[in-house]
Amino acid sequence: MSYVDLLAWLVESRSKLEGCRVDNIFSTDRENTYLLVIHCPSGDHSLVIEPSKRVHFTNFVRNKGLSNKARMLRELIRGSVIRRVDVIENERILKMELSNNTIIYIELLPKGILVITDMDNKIKFVTEHKEFRDRVMKPGEMYVLPPKQEGLPREEIEKLIKKGAIARILGVPQEIISALSLNVTSLEDLERAKFEVAKVLEDIREGKITPCIDLEKTVLPIEFPGCTKKESFNEALDEYFTNKERNEITEDKNEGEIKKLESTISNLNQTIKELRDNAEQFRNYGRLLMENFSQIEAEIKYKGSNEVQIGNYKIQVNPKLSVTKNAAIYFDKAKELEAKARKAEETIQQLTKKKAELEAMVNESKEGKIISLRKKEWYEKYHWSITTNGFLVIAGRDVDQNESLVRKLLEPDDIFLHADIQGAPATIIKNPKDIQEIDIIDAAIIAASYSKAWKLGLASVDVFWVYGNQVSKSPPAGEYLPKGSFMIYGKKNYLKNVKLELAIGINEQGGLRLEAGSINVISRRCKAYVTITPGENDQQKLAERILKILSRQTGLEGIKVFQEDLVRLIPGKSRIASSSDKLKDNLSDQT
């Protein structure tokens, strides 16, 4: 990313940074690349940071890890709020000031690094210790910006103009110059070019951005020939860099083995050619001996020759043997060489099969490490499900969300559900026009499963439902309603003994997403799923087990990246009751 790119991205993305909290930090499979989970009022966002290359939000999910550097970053910035974000003027450096009196510097310069300092710019952490002529990058030292490039003398500028090195003079990438069709052959042209570049920067600062991408070439915040426009510059950056990342991902061991196999196959093909050429030559010798039987017999019998001349060929013979036996020796040699060639061909077939298997593993690995996610919907911050007939069900994850659902989202005609037990989520069916009983049952399973009944290990619990206009936050006179509590007026409609059994699956339509709900719903929406009931297995361990099953069912190796999301879907200690491929729960596998 250039300074222009970084500026455009920040102008567009500032609201997703300032005032938001750093919830978590992860390392990735890609060296020196980090994921920051940013929590904002509008929802959670994943920020990719790769010093010296890029910073942007991503809708693609990668394998998450916790390297030593990522662990140190967690200790320094996790839980802090981003107060202010700026781009250092004319530098590819992003500066983020945090509420815990620390500053993050993300350098996108060549050999750039990520630096954490205190408010006086004393370095606390760097992703890589480096020493330059003008600055030392290691803990305890003062963070110093790279030295400003001094203005070039006129003579140097004229030389650069002659060389066509305009990008160096203007301080913008060549792609910008090409996009603006700037043709600079004189100092006068240079002044006009400076004006055009300044106008682009001013437009960007004012939010006039035209995100454009060519996956094979570049991505820019302005239009350029052959590009495809995107809705946002961040979307363009995410697509461009993720595509590059996919192309760069390799399985070194397998690809090294593939190269060895290719070399062996090539050598064997050459060997087969030589064997067949020699076999044909030996057969030809045998034929020539038999076709010239009388001449050869005379030379062998009367002259005792061990070499005979037939046309242009000199053929070695054994004078002690007959012409027929000499010819037979050559025919036998030809057969031996043909047999060796066939054996080599069989070996090539085996190696080719092995090579194809390794190539499939490499491709599977490349596809598995980065999985495209659909854009998260607003309701995904809650527990949610879709009923049999397509109605949206949302349920609170905690007291705050319960309060928010009833105060802000519950409409008079919506259906409100609640398990008949203390400690249950406020559950809503939105816009339930022409709703059927099966839809209410689907929603009741969500209301029951995420209630305290699951943690108590119950098999079932009653659930009641009412209309939104029967729910109130206003208590009777003289009474007080605690946060997350509500008054229900009028008749309650009960669903007795709602079974605590939740289905969880992978929906592959339009990108991958985990979904939870009734078996009836999930079996229709997801090709691969499991059902769980209250049990004794820890959520983390059970999530690992479930992902193995779903991975086997879908053939997707990269879905382990969903582990954290899956843990949030499991209501408490559980067991696997069944899965879409009829696998039964094996408790020994889950402990």
- Confidence label for 141 from pLDDT (cuts 50, 70 and 90): very high
The answer on pLDDT for 133 being more than 90 is no
Q: Which residues of 426-442 are buried (b: 16+ CB within 10 A; e: fewer)?
A: bbbbbebeeeeeebbbb
The answer on pLDDT for 325 being more than 70 is yes
The answer on pLDDT for 586 being more than 60 is no
By 3-state DSSP, what share of the chain in percent is helix, strand and coil, each rounded to 5?
A: 45, 25, 30
Nearby residues of 214 by Cβ (< 8 Å), 6 or more positions away: 224, 226, 227, 228
The answer on pLDDT for 37 being more than 70 is yes
Q: How far apart are CA 265 and CA 351, in angstroms?
A: 7
Residues shown for the chain: 591
**CATH fit for domain 3-137, picks 1.10.10.1100, 2.30.310.10, 3.40.50.920, 2.60.40.1180:** 2.30.310.10
Domain boundaries, the chain: 3-137, 154-248, 252-370, 378-499, 502-590
Whole-structure pTM over 0.75, yes or no?
no
pLDDT of residue 587: 37
What integer is the mean pLDDT of 167-175?
Answer: 84
What integer is the mean pLDDT of 213-231?
Answer: 91
First and final C-alpha spacing in the chain? 47
What integer is the mean pLDDT of 302-307?
Answer: 80
The answer on pLDDT for 371 being more than 80 is no
What integer is the mean pLDDT of 284-311?
Answer: 87
The answer on pLDDT for 361 being more than 70 is no
The answer on pLDDT for 116 being more than 90 is yes
Of 29, 105, 34, 20, residue with least CA distance to 71: 34
DSSP string, 370-386: EEEBPPPPGGGGSEEEE
Furthest-apart CA atoms within the chain: distance in Å: 137
The answer on pLDDT for 426 being more than 90 is yes
